[in-house]
Structure 1
Amino acid sequence: MAVLWLVLLGGMLTFFLGVFVWAFIQHLLTVEIPSTLKHPVKLRILHFSFQYLINLGTILEKLRICSTPAFLLCIQDLVIIIKKDPNMLVTDTRFGTVPVRLFKPKKVSSKLRRGIIFYHGGGGLFGSLDVYHGLGNFLARETDSVVLLVGYRKLPDHRHPVIHLDCLNASIHFLKNLQTYGVDPSRVVIAGESAGGWAVATVTQALSCQDKLPQIRAQVLITPVLQGVNFQLPSQLQKHNVPLLTRDLMITFICSYLSIDLSWKNAILTGACVPPDMWKKYSKWLSSDNIPQRFKGKDFSPEFLGPFNETAYLETKHILDEKISPLLADDKIIAQLPDTFLLSCEHDILRDDTLLYKKRLEDQGVPVTWHHVEDGFHGCIIFFDNQFFSFPCSMNALNATISYIKGI
C-alpha cells in the first residue's frame, strides 16, 4: 500500500511539474512585456501563474474531472482574503436572483449620499463580490457614497444575455428604492471595469429610454470592451500578447459567453464574418481612422476586413447587436447618455475601444472626461490594495476614478 501511495504521489508531482514547465515555456514564447511598464517581473509572475492555472483547468476538463471555469473559480475563492473595515456597514443580499453587496459608511450624513452602482470585471468568468470587495469598500469610503456591487451570474452555467439582464435588473431595483438606501436620486453613478465597463455601456443605454426612473447622473467605464466587430485596431495588433488580457484569452471569453464555437476565431479576428455592407455602415464609428495618430505607431496600416464568409456571419451575427457591441448604438441613443468618465490603459488590447467610444460620445455632444494611464495594463486597477502585486498604475487609475466621482 505504501508503494502505491508513493507511485501516486510521484505521478501527481510529475504531472504538476510537467504542466508547470509547459506553462513556463508557453509564457516565454508568447508573452510581451512592454519596456515602459513598471515592475515587469511582477507582471510576468502574475501572468505566468494565471497561465499555469488555465492549463491545469484545461487538462482537468479534458479528463472530465471538472470544467475549466469551475476549477478557476474554486482557486479564486481559495486565495481571496476579505479585509473588514470597522467604518463601513456591509450587507449581502439578493435582488431577485442577483447577489449584491451594499457598502455604506457608518458615519451619519446630514444629507443623502451619492450612489454608485458597480459592475465587476472578469470576462464573464472571473471576478466576484469577494474579489471586488476591497474596491467597493474603498470607493464607498473615499467618496462617501453608498456603493452597490452587483454579483451577476457567470460562465460556465450562464451565458448571454445574463450579465446584461442581471446588471440591468439589479440597477432598476436599486433605482426604485434609493430612499431606502439613503441615496440622492440626482447623484447616481453607474461604474464598471472591463466586462463590467461593457455592462455599464449596455445598461446605461437601456436606462436612457426609461423616463419613470431617476436619471443616471454619470457613467464610469474603466478599460471596457465595447465592440466585437473590428479586431484590426492598432491596440488589438500592438498589444495582442501583453498581459493580463491577451488576444487568445479575449476571444475565448467572447466566444464562450456568446456561445460561439472557437473554430470561428480566425473569422472573427480578421472580420470575415462582417458583411461588406454592414462594415460600410459601421466603419464610420469603428474604423482606425478615428484613432488619434499618436496611438497608431509608424508601421500601422489601415484595416482590411475579409474576405467575407457568409457561414461565419450566420454563426456569429449576434455580435452586431448593440447589446453586445454598444459602440453600434444609434446616434439618438448615444446623444441621450449622461456625463461620462472613460479610463484607458496604454498597454491594453482594449485601449482603442475606449478611444472610439470617446469620439462617438463627443460627436453627439455628451460631456466626456478621459483619463489615460500611460504605464497601465488591463485589469491593473484591481491590484490597488495587493501588497505583493502592487503597481503604480493601479492607484493612478483608481485615484483618477475617485476624483471624477467626488466631483458629482
Structure 2
Amino acid sequence: MAGFWLVLIGGLLTFFLGVFVWVFIQHLLTIEIPSTLKHPVKLWILHLIFQYLITLGTILEKLRICSMPAILQFFQDLIIIKKKVPNVIVTDTRFGTVPVRLFRPKEVSSKPRRGIIFYHGGGAVCGSLDFYHGLGNVLAHETDSVVLLVGYRKLPDHHHPVVYLDCLNASIHFLKNLQTYGVDPSRVVISGESIGGWTVATVTQALVSQAILPQIRAQVLITPGLQGINFQLPSHQQKQNVPLLTRDLVITFVCRYLSIDLSWKNAIVTGAFVPLDTWKKYSKWLSSDNIPKRFKSKKFHPEFLGPFSETAYLETKHVFDVNISPLLADDKIIAQLPDTFLVSCEHDVLRDDALLYKKRLEDQGVPVSWYHAEDGFHGCISLFDKQPFSFPCSMNVLNAVISYIKDV
C-alpha cells in the first residue's frame, strides 16, 4: 500500500514539474518584458506563476477534473490577507443575488458623503470582493467616501450578460437607497478596473435613460477593455506578449465569457468575422487612425481584415452589441455621459481601447481627464497591497484615481 502512495505522489510531482518546465520554456521564448518596465524580474515571476496556473487549470479542465477558472480562483483565495483599517467600517450583504461589500468611514460626518460604486477586474475569471478588499478600504479612507464593491458572478458557471446585469442591478439598488447609506445623490462616482472598467462604460450608458435615478457625477475607467472587434490596434500588435495580460489571453477570456468556441480565436485576431460594410460603419470609431501617432511604433501595420467568414460572423456577431462593445454606442448616448477619468498603461494590450474612448467622449463634448502610466501594465493597481508583488506604478495609478475622485 505504501508503494502505491509513493508511486502516486511521485507521479503527481512529475506531472506538476513537467507542466512548470513546459510553461517556463514556452514563455521564456515568447514573453516580452519592455526595457522601461521597473522590476522586470518580479513581473516575469508573477507572469510565470499566472500562466502556470492557467495552463494547469486548462489541462485539468480537459481531463474533466475541474475548470481553469476554478483553479485560478482557488489559488487567488490562498494568497489573500484582508487587513483591517481602524477608520473604516466594512459590511458584507447582498442586493438580491449579488454579494456586495460596503466600506464606510467610521468618523461621523455632518453631511452626506460621496458614494463610489466599484466593479473589480479579473476578466470574469478571477478577482473577488476579498482580492479587492484593500482597494475598497483605501478608497473609503482616502476620499472620505462610502464605497460599494460589487461581487458579480463569474465563470465557469455564469456567462454574459451576468456581469453586466449584476453590476447594473446592484448599482440601481444602491442609487435608490442612497439616503440609507448616507450618500449625497449629487456626488456618486462609478468606477472599475479591467473588465470592471468595461462594466462602468456599459452600466453608465444604460443609466443615461434612467431619469428617475440620481445622475452619476463621474465615471472612472481604469485600463478598460471596451470593444471585441478590432484586435489589430497598435497596442494589440506591440504589447501582445507583454505581461500580465497577453492578446491571446484577452481573446481566451472574451471567448469564454461570451460562450464563443475557442476555435474562432484566429478569426477574431485577423478580423475575418467582421463584414466589410460593418467595418466601414464602425471604423470611424475603432480604427487605429484614431490613435495618436506617438503610440505607434515603426513596426505597426494598419488593420487588414482577413478573408471574410460568414460562419465566424454568425458565431461571434453578438460582440457588436453595445452591451459588449460600448465603444459602439450612439453619439446621443455618448454625449449624455458624465465627467470621465480614464487610466491607461503604456505596457497594456488594452491601452488603445481607453484612447479610442477618450476621443469618442471628447468629440461629443464630454469633459475627460486622463492619466497615462508610462511604466504601467495591465492589472497593476490591484497589486498595490500584494507584497512582494506591488510596483511603483501600482501606487501611482491608485494615487491618480484618489486625487481625481477627491476633486469630484
- How far apart are the structure 2 equivalents of 1:232 and 1:60? 32
CA shift at 1:17, angstroms? 1.1
- How far apart are the structure 2 equivalents of 1:4 and 1:269? 47
- What do residues 101-125 of structure 1 show as CA deviations (whole Å, max 9, x unaligned)? 0000101111110000000000011
Q: Identity, % of aligned pairs?
A: 82
- How far apart are the structure 1 equivalents of 2:11 and 2:398? 45
Alignment of 1:249-328 (within 5 A): 249-328=249-328
- How far apart are the structure 2 equivalents of 1:330 and 1:111? 38
Pick which of 279-288 and 12-21 moved more. Answer: 12-21
Other-structure match for 2:196? 196
1:248 pairs with 2:248: yes
Paired letter, 1:175: L
Q: Which consecutive aligned stretches of 4+ in structure 1 deviate over 4 angstroms post-superposition?
A: none
The SS at the match of 2:231 is coil
Pick which of 52-61 and 284-293 moved more. Answer: 52-61
Other-structure match for 1:53? 53
Other-structure match for 1:130? 130
Other-structure match for 1:348? 348
Pick which of 76-85 and 361-370 moved more. Answer: 76-85
Normalised by the length of structure 1, the TM-score is 0.99
CA shift at 1:299, angstroms? 2.7
Other-structure match for 2:81? 81
Q: Given that residues 33 and 40 in structure 2 are in contact (C-alpha distance below 8 angstroms), is that contact kept between their aligned partners in structure 1?
A: yes
CA shift at 1:80, angstroms? 1.0
- How far apart are the structure 1 equivalents of 2:51 and 2:298? 32
The SS at the match of 1:108 is coil
- What do residues 300-333 of structure 1 show as CA deviations (whole Å, max 9, x unaligned)? 2321113211111111000000000000000000
Other-structure match for 2:217? 217
CA shift at 1:298, angstroms? 2.0
Alignment of 1:2-401 (within 5 A): 2-401=2-401
CA shift at 1:174, angstroms? 0.1
- How far apart are the structure 2 equivalents of 1:323 and 1:143? 30
The SS at the match of 1:389 is coil
- How far apart are the structure 1 equivalents of 2:178 and 2:377? 35
- What do residues 125-152 of structure 1 show as CA deviations (whole Å, max 9, x unaligned)? 1100000000011100000000000000
Aligned residues, how many? 408
- How far apart are the structure 1 equivalents of 2:344 and 2:179? 34
- How far apart are the structure 2 equivalents of 1:159 and 1:27? 29
Other-structure match for 1:407? 407
CA shift at 1:387, angstroms? 2.2
- What do residues 255-300 of structure 1 show as CA deviations (whole Å, max 9, x unaligned)? 0000000111111111111111110010000111100000011232
Paired letter, 1:238: Q
- How far apart are the structure 2 equivalents of 1:64 and 1:313? 30
Q: Given that residues 154 and 163 in structure 2 are in contact (C-alpha distance below 8 angstroms), is that contact kept between their aligned partners in structure 1?
A: yes
Paired letter, 1:105: P
The SS at the match of 2:34 is coil
Pick which of 61-70 and 138-147 moved more. Answer: 61-70
CA shift at 1:58, angstroms? 1.5
The SS at the match of 2:93 is strand
- How far apart are the structure 1 equivalents of 2:342 and 2:325? 17
Pick which of 21-30 and 331-340 moved more. Answer: 21-30
The runs of 5 or more residues in structure 1 that have no matched partner are none
- How far apart are the structure 2 equivalents of 1:312 and 1:15? 36
Normalised by the length of structure 2, the TM-score is 0.99
- How far apart are the structure 2 equivalents of 1:135 and 1:308? 44
Paired letter, 2:201: A
- How far apart are the structure 2 equivalents of 1:407 and 1:376? 23
Q: Given that residues 238 and 300 in structure 2 are in contact (C-alpha distance below 8 angstroms), is that contact kept between their aligned partners in structure 1?
A: no
CA shift at 1:401, angstroms? 0.5
- What do residues 211-230 of structure 1 show as CA deviations (whole Å, max 9, x unaligned)? 00000000000000000111
- What do residues 206-262 of structure 1 show as CA deviations (whole Å, max 9, x unaligned)? 001110000000000000000011111000000000011001111010000000001
Paired letter, 2:25: I
The SS at the match of 1:55 is helix
How well do the aligned residues superpose, as a CA RMSD in angstroms? 0.8
Q: Given that residues 288 and 302 in structure 2 are in contact (C-alpha distance below 8 angstroms), is that contact kept between their aligned partners in structure 1?
A: yes
Paired letter, 1:27: H
- How far apart are the structure 1 equivalents of 2:262 and 2:228? 14
The SS at the match of 1:82 is coil
- How far apart are the structure 1 equivalents of 2:158 and 2:403? 35
- How far apart are the structure 2 equivalents of 1:2 and 1:166? 50
Paired letter, 1:342: L
